[in-house]
Amino acid sequence: MKTFVRTICCITIILLSGSNVNAQESVARFGVKAGMNYSGSYGDDNSPKSKAGINIGITLDFRLSSDIYLLTGLDYSVKGGKGKPYEITDNDGRKFMLTQTDKPVYLQLPLHAGYKFDVPDFKIMPHAGFYMAYGVGGKAEYKYEPLDGGAGSTSKIDFFGVGIGKFDYGAGIGVNTEYRKFVLDLGYDWGLREFAKDFGNGKGKAKSGYLTLGYKF
């Protein structure tokens, strides 16, 4: 968590310093965005199915040259996945189908480099780079469906309360399409850290596609 906070502070200082040096040329552009994730995990034999979640945040584009930009900001991102149902037996000998759905919430800091192409009425910017994320909440939901036809039940626990690591990092690619002050961003992130080393085979890593609509001030 300390590393995450230090990185946010350093990037903020650098960007604010750059914008103050030559504000008339709009060195830094601030914006907001909102949209959806479609996230899951990979690298694990029991990787859950992907599921949808929200993605909202602030953006800051820092112009390094006429066509090259540093893209950063801070996202509130709901990720997770839905596991495959599997059979369990309780202490009374009753059999259930158990389905687990994970909904972890992260604060995510992207750090991408982008190259801007001007086309009539639009600006297109492919971008790529890295991200860091820190888990700030979310639930793991367990749905029990009895095989004898009785009433089912659901329970929830803190997703990060069972020893799953809160820190994540990875790589990502994307493309921005800007029309006037509106920006449509489509991208994909691959986690590089095994976030559940103490569970299963411990090889699962996060993955997430996203589509957001933003506005630049």
Distance CA 116, CA 123 (A): 7
Distance CA 63, CA 26 (A): 8
Asked whether 196 and 204 are in contact (CB, 8 A), the reply is: yes
Give 83-125 pLDDT, tens digit per residue: 888 899 988 888 999 998 989 999 999 999 999 999 999 999 9
Tell me which DSSP letter residue 49 carries: B
**Beta carbons within 8 Å of 84's beta carbon, 6+ residues apart:** 46, 48, 49, 99
Task: Please give the angle made by the CA atoms of 56, 108 and 78, to the nearest 5 degrees.
Answer: 55
Predicted pLDDT of residue 82? 86
**φ, ψ for residue 50, nearest 5 deg:** -70, 155
Predicted pLDDT of residue 200? 52
Predicted pLDDT of residue 170? 96
Positions of the chain with pLDDT under 70: 1-26, 45-47, 196-202
pTM for this predicted structure? 0.82
User: What is the fold of 29-216?
Assistant: Porin (2.40.160)
Predicted pLDDT of residue 123? 95
